[in-house]
Chain A
Amino acid sequence: GKNEYDLLVIGGGSGGLACAKEAAQFGRKVAVLDSVEPSPQGTTWGIGGTCVNVGCIPKKLMHQAALLGSALKDAQHYGWNISQPVHHTWSVMAQGVQNYVKSLNWGHRVQLQDKKVKYFNIKGRFSDPHTVRGLTKAGKETVVTADNIVIATGGRPKYPTHIAGALEYGITSDDLFWLKESPGKTLPSFILYVALECAGFLTGIGLDTTVMMRSIPLRGFDQASHISKKKQIYFTTQQQMASLVTEHMESYGTKFLKRCSPTKVEKLKSKRLQVTWKNDDLNTEETDSFDTVMWAVGRVPDTKTLNLETVGVKTNCETGKIIVDASEATSVPHIYAVGDITEGRPELTPVAIAAGKLLAQRLFGQSSELMDYKNVPTTVFTPLEYGCVGLSEEAAVQCHGSDNIEVYHAYYKPLEFTVAERDATQCYVKMVCLRERQQRILGLHFIGPNAGEVIQGFALGIKCGATYPQLMKTVGIHPTCAEEVTKLRITKRSGLDATVTGC
């Protein structure tokens, strides 16, 4: 018989909801399935996916909480009478954040209802290419059939199950943002932007935080060498873009255990957790106790319970992610996928939203526009933020050869840091351009306050094919940090001191 819906979206997160709501705009009959499997620690949440509940939103709010802590410290220098030290109460912050998240959950429910999108709070699994079934909380089996199905179930944090005690005693980002009580002395392990961001704001609100890392920080982000301020010798000092971020965190109190791998987690009588690890540098075994151990060792796609094998949706055997083509189509006709679940796409909310909307427009709106995954800007919200768009230095070198690219860079000092007597050693900006012809800008990397706000506008520039000469003709706004981008003149190649002096 005929399928009940024009579109069924499995997963009510950034990508899924955007796709569903867009399809509904075209007057289509749309249904959304959303269901949250509680974390091993029992944490669960409402509709909206990772971003709203356990990602971007609570993360940025807690990052803001930490920044405000720093601002309070700076405030004295600007004349405010604030008694130090200033104290932070986790539960007040958590309640504010959690209430806001809940209002977003509600907002999504209202929107879906308003746009006549049918919502099922069930965990669906395929029984054939047009049929998904699942059980409601009450145990009732629900069957949904649709002409088109979009899988947007996203991912969940990975647990290092090979480490004894990891699952029973550790938490992940799924739990951190929903804690009612302070996590206390915390060990986020290992290195991923999630670990750095969380460690960053935990330190910022006054908690004793240690990050344990097996290898290099921020794998996948820009790692290229830059000229050390102290040595000023071309290519002999290897200080990495990503390590600037961790350096800043270290100077502000986050402890780092580098080249260490945890071997076990045990619970002490005091309820604290004892972590044992191997120090790869010293080849010793070390141990310490913490209130909380948080794992940030990667995310895994949420496909296990979907029954993809039954319908033949192909996944990448290594990552488990769904393989899609440029139109988000899977190996099965009429089944698509968007967001974190898809192989080879940036795991970002705006990417999922844009892909979801465009997909709906192609399916129901006579559009043929495909999602452009190139030059997607992004920002890591560590205490000193790192924003970037376009190619990293290494990627540019790999793509064009080091002779064909020019890298401009500068160390700068935000004006606001001066009176506050804040160390700006890691405030840095780097731009990668082609050397030949128009000197097109390939990538921009910025470490400093409000990096996301700075990079956003330049993302448009890169999209429009902006060139270095055009940038040189762009007048900066003064006094800002963003203007430092327009003032980039020193190249790495020249070996000159890249420190910006006053105006």
Chain B
Amino acid sequence: MGWEEMQVRGYPEFVRTAQSYHGRPIFALFCGDKDAEGRSWCPDCVTAEPVVRKELHNLPDKSVFIYCLVGDRAYWKDPNNEFRRNLKLTAVPTLLKYGTPQKLVEEECFKAELVRMLFTED
């Protein structure tokens, strides 16, 4: 069956989407919003995205990859935003396996072997 990708924006949409795929392995990449030219305000997210995308073919069968734009810079900087509060995210980009403590943060997302390990390890 392979894997599929969902693109969402904002916390409520993320949660709805994740819940709708309950029971399947869910991986999520959180990035800062993109402007009209498609560039994110978060430079590290710009670097990480292609690295992560290149490893997507390693996702286990039936996985869901949720690409989530968290919001603009001001929203993200707010220490009480829902991603920080509820998902305990500390930075963008964050790549995580939903429902587990397995995640990669910032420069860790630049490393293809780490991304691959996250996608393929138990």
Q: Could you tell me which A residues sit within 8 Å of B by CB distance?
A: 99-100, 102-103, 106, 109-110, 113-114
Contact = CB atoms under 8 A, between A and B. Distances in A.
Interface string B82-122: 00000000000000000011111000100101100100010
B120 to A, nearest CB: 11
Contact of B117 (A102, A103, A113): A113
B102 A114 contact: no
Interface in B19-61: none
Contacts, number: 24
A46 to B, nearest CB: 8
A100 B100 CA distance: 10
Contacts of B101: 99-100, 102-103, 106
A114 B114 contact: yes
Interface residues of B, number: 11
Contacts of A99: 101
Interface of B: 100-104, 108, 111, 113-114, 117, 121
A114 B113 CA distance: 8
24 contacts: A99-B101, A100-B101, A102-B100, A102-B101, A102-B102, A103-B101, A103-B102, A106-B100, A106-B101, A106-B102, A106-B103, A109-B117, A109-B121, A110-B104, A110-B108, A110-B114, A110-B117, A113-B111, A113-B113, A113-B114, A113-B117, A114-B108, A114-B111, A114-B114
A96 B117 CA distance: 24
A110 B106 CA distance: 13
Contacts of A113: 111, 113-114, 117
Contacts of B104: 110
The residue among B100, B102, B103, B113 with the most chain A CB atoms within 10 A of its own CB is: B102
A476 to B, nearest CB: 39
Contacts of A102: 100-102
A498 B39 CA distance: 73
Contacts of A106: 100-103
B90 to A, nearest CB: 13
Contacts of A100: 101
A100 B101 CA distance: 8
Contacts of B117: 109-110, 113
